[in-house]
Structure 1
Amino acid sequence: MGVYEELLNKIESKQATVGVVGLGYVGLPLAVEKAKAGFKVIGFDVQEEKVKLVNEGVNYIGDVINEELSELVKTKRLTATTDYSFIKDVDAVAICVPTPLDIYQQPDTSYVENSASEIAKYLHKGMLVVLESTTYPGTTEEIVKPKLESTGLVCGEDFFLAYSPERVDPGNKQFKTKNTPKVVGGVTKKCTKVAAKLYSSVLESDVYEVSSPAVAEMEKIHENTFRHINIALANEMAILCNKMGIDVWEVIDAAATKPYGFMPFYPGPGLGGHCIPIDPFYLTWKAREYNYHTRLIELSGEINNSMPEFVVNRCMQILNEEKKPLNGSKVLVLGVAYKRDIDDVRESPILDILTLLSNAGAEWVVADPYVKTFKLNGQLVETCALTQEAVESADLVLIGTDHSDFDYDMVQKYAKVIFDTRNAIPRGKVVSKKYHRL
C-alpha cells in the first residue's frame, strides 16, 4: 500500500492525527471541529498564553462553545503546544496564521513562511499540508511548496499539499466552520482528493474541489473583493443621498424588493475586520506582476477608507445645527468593535473616527459591552457602561457599532442628539426629534 492509500485509510478510519498551526479565530474553531469529528488534534501556536488557555479548556474565541472545548481537552482529543517538533507526530496539518498587509500595503507572508519552514523540519512521507490563510494566488506553490520540497520529499508522491481558504464570519449565528461549504485545490489530483477527504470527514457542508491551489486562492480573494466593491458603492450612495436629502437606507430597502439582479449591501462608518479591508489588496499587489492596474479595487478602497472622515464631518454639521462646535463637545460613541455583537476591533473604522474626533478637539468616551479595553495610537483605552448619565452628559451620541445589547429606547429618550451610522434604529422605531442617520 502506498503513502496515498495509507493516508486515505487513516482519515477514513479517524486514526489520523491532525495538527492546526495558529489557534486564532480560524484555527481554534477548526481544531475543535476536527477533534469533535473523532480525530486526535494537536494545536500549535507561538503565543504561550493561547496554548495555556487551550490546555486548561478555557475558550477565548466567540465561535467556539466553551463546554465543547473543555470536554475535548479533558478527554485528550485536543491538546496545544508551542513546540513544533510535535509536527512529526501528525498525519495532516492546516496552516491558519495571519496574512496582514505591511506599512506599504503589500502582503506580509512572513507568518506563512515561518510556519512552512517549521513544518519542513519535521515533514515526513504520507503527510498532508493545507494552507488556509487568505493570500494572493500563487502563495501555496511559490512559497510553501518549495520550502517543503527542500527536504527532498516530492509533492504529490511523498507528501500532499493543498489550499483551502478559511470562511469564517465572526458572530454569524447561522453559518459556522462546521456547516460552511469548503473549497479545496491541491497541487496534484491526489493532493486535492486527500485534502477533500479530510474536510468531508469533519464538516457537515459540501466540499467543492477545484483544479489548483491558485484557483482556490483567487476564489477567496474574489469573494471578499466582491463585498469590498459593493460596500463601496453603498457608501458612495450614502454620501450622495445625504447631499440630496434622501434616506439611503430607504432606497436600499426599496431596491431589495426586486427578486432578481440585485443584492443589498449597506453603508457604514468604514470597513473593519481581518478580511474585507485587507484581502483585495493582495490581488492589487499581485496584479502588478502582470502589468495590470486594478483600478476598481483601488477606487473602492479610497471610498471605504474615506468614510471615517465623512462621519466626523457629519458630526460637525449635526452639532453646528445645535449651535455647538465639535471642538470641546462631548461625544459618546456606542461601539468600537468592527461589527455587531463581537469583541474584535481589528481594522475597526471606529478607531480612525476616534482619532479624527481627538484631532478636532472633541472629548469622547466609548461604550461597548463586548470590549472592555482597546488600544488607540499606542494608548490603552477603557470603555464605559451605557448609562442614562453617560447619554445625558453627551452633546452627541454616535452609534458606531450596532450591538444588539444597547438599549436604544433609553438612548433615544435621553440623548440630546443622535447620529446613527449603522441604521441601528430602524425608521419605524425612531422617536427622537434629534435623530440623524448616515
Structure 2
Amino acid sequence: MPADLAVIGLGQLGLPLVQAATAASITTVGYDPDPHTIAELRAGRLPAEGGCGGLTAADLRRMLSSGFRATTEDAELGRVRTAVICAPVRLGENRALDLGAIGAAARTLAARLRPHTTVLLESPVYPGATEEYLRPLLEEGSGLIAGRDFHLAYSPSRHDPGNRRYHLRNTPRVIGGLTPACTEAAAAFYGRFCEKVVRARGPREAEAVKVWETNYRHVNIALANEMAVFCHDIGVDLWDVVRCAETKPFGFQAFRPGPGVGGHGVPVDPNYLAYKGRTLGYPLRMVELAQEVNGRMPRYVVQRCAALLNEHGKSARGARVLLLGVGYKADIADQEGSPAREVASRLLELGAQLSYHDPHVTQWRVLGRPVPRADSVYEAAAAADLTVLLQHHRTYDLQGLAVKAQLMLDTRGASPAGTAHRL
C-alpha cells in the first residue's frame, strides 16, 4: 500500500521523525540502504550502537503496529507525497562536513521523484547546502525543477534524545522553503504533528539556525570547561559558583562542564564549509576556540585521575579504574562522539586496568579491545582504586556509590557536595 511519507535514513534523526509521524496516523515508509538496519527494524530490534534517537524497543513495536514499514526498495519513494532526508552528517578531513550520505539519498530519491512531491532536508548542513548541493542532485536525477514541479525546503532537526519534557510535538519547528509555496507545503506537513511551525525567510536562514544553535551549545560549554579548570587551580568550588550564578533571573543561562562534548550536533565553522572551492577566507574564532577547549577535556580528566591516584599513594599504571556511563548523553545508549572513549584510551595508555558500567550499553570496545563490563556497580566501585563518573544516568545512586568507592571523581558535578572529588 502506498505511504504518505517516506523517511530516508533510519538513524538518530529519522527514527524519531517516524515515531512522531506514525503517532499522528501518517502512513510512513522508512528507507535505508543498509540491509542489516532494515532487517533489525523489521524484527522489532533497534540497530546496535544506540544511534536511534533515544527510542526504545517498545517505541519501535508501537511504530510497527501503527503501520510503519522499513525497506531497502527505492521504488517505495516514488509513491509518497512527502519525502524527508535524514541522512547522517559527520566531520570529514580538515573538519569539512561530509555530505556523502545526503548525496546518496538525493540520487536515490531523484530517480523516483514525482511532480508535486514535497522534499524536506533535516540533516545538519552549512547555509546554502539545500540550494547549492541538494537541489542540483534532485533536479538532474529527476528532470523536474524545484519550486515549480516539486517543493523543496529545509528544517533543522531539534530532537533531544532522552528529554522527557520536550519532544517533536511540542518543540517549535523551523522551516525555510525555496519559494513561499515550498514553505507552505512544508508547514502543512509538519503542522500535522508539531504544535508550532516557525517560518524562516528561506532555506539558508533555516540552515543557519542549526549552525547557531549547535555552536551556541559548544561555545558555552567551552566557557564552563575553562571555568572548571580555572576554579580547580585556584581552589574555588565551581559547582557552588554555578548554583549561585543560576539564581540570576536575567542575562545568564547555566551551562555545566564535563569530560568533553559528544553527540551528533557537529560544531560548524563556516571556514570549513566550502562548496566548489568557495570559502569565506576566515574562521569563526569563537567556534575554533570552543573546539580546542572542549577537545582537550578528556586529557584533563585523565590528568585529574592520575593526580588523585598519586595523592593516595597509587600509580595510574596497574590501577583498577571503573568508568561509569560511556554514552554521550544521560539515559541513552548512543555513543556518538562520547568523550568516554578518549578518556579510556588515555587511561589504557597509562597502564590502568579498566572496567565500565552503563545500564544502557552492554558491550564496549576501546582501541579494538573489549572492556570488561561490571555486573554489580556497587561491588565494582568497592573493588576499584578509582571510580570515574563520566555520565550521570538516572539509575545511579551517587551518594551510595561514593560511600562504596575507594576514590571517586565526578566529572558531572552530580554527586552530593563532599562525597566525591568533582571536576
Note the C-alpha offset of 1:251. Answer: 0.6
Tell me what 1:414 maps to. Answer: 404
Q: Distance in 2 between matches of 1:117 and 1:186?
A: 20
Tell me what 2:422 maps to. Answer: 437
The TM-score, its normalising length taken from structure 2, stands at 0.93
Identify if the C-alpha distance between structure 1 residues 183 and 385 changes in structure 2 by more than 3 Å, giving closer, same or farther: same
Cα contact 1:56–1:70 (8 A) shared by 2: no
Q: Distance in 2 between matches of 1:32 and 1:358?
A: 40
Tell me what 1:82 maps to. Answer: 72
1:117 equivalent to 2:104? Answer: no
Tell me what 2:289 maps to. Answer: 299
Q: After superposition, give the CA deviation of every residue in 1:274-299 in whole Å (9 maximum; x if it has no partner).
A: 11xx2324x34137701122111101
Cα contact 1:20–1:95 (8 A) shared by 2: yes
- 3-state SS in 2 of match to 1:190: helix
Choose which of 273, 276, 283 in structure 2 pairs with 1:286.
273
Choose which of 27, 37, 42 in structure 1 pairs with 2:29.
42
Cα contact 1:229–1:300 (8 A) shared by 2: yes
Cα contact 1:92–1:128 (8 A) shared by 2: yes
Identify if the C-alpha distance between structure 1 residues 90 and 332 changes in structure 2 by more than 3 Å, giving closer, same or farther: same
Tell me what 1:135 maps to. Answer: 125
Note the C-alpha offset of 1:389. Answer: 2.8
Choose which of 89, 112, 131 in structure 2 pairs with 1:99.
89
Identify if the C-alpha distance between structure 1 residues 359 and 66 changes in structure 2 by more than 3 Å, giving closer, same or farther: closer
Q: Distance in 1 between matches of 2:28 and 2:402?
A: 50
Alignment of 1:10-409 (within 5 A): 17-59=4-46, 61=52, 63-64=54-55, 66-67=57-58, 69-75=60-66, 77-150=67-140, 151-203=142-194, 205-275=195-265, 278-281=266-269, 283-286=270-273, 289-409=279-399
Note the C-alpha offset of 1:58. Answer: 4.2
Q: Distance in 1 between matches of 2:54 and 2:388?
A: 28
Letter of the structure 1 residue corresponding to residue 189 of structure 2: L
Note the C-alpha offset of 1:386. Answer: 3.6
Letter of the structure 2 residue corresponding to residue 437 of structure 1: R
Note the C-alpha offset of 1:382. Answer: 4.3
Cα contact 2:40–2:46 (8 A) shared by 1: yes
Cα contact 1:386–1:406 (8 A) shared by 2: no
Q: After superposition, give the CA deviation of every residue in 1:363-405 in whole Å (9 maximum; x if it has no partner).
A: 1111111111123233343422244331222111111111121
Q: Distance in 2 between matches of 1:52 and 1:353?
A: 34
Note the C-alpha offset of 1:17. Answer: 1.2
Q: Distance in 1 between matches of 2:95 and 2:368?
A: 20
- 3-state SS in 2 of match to 1:116: helix
Q: Give every structure 1 segment of 4 or more consecutive aligned residues whose post-TM-superposition deviation is greater than 6 Å.
A: none
The TM-score, its normalising length taken from structure 1, stands at 0.90
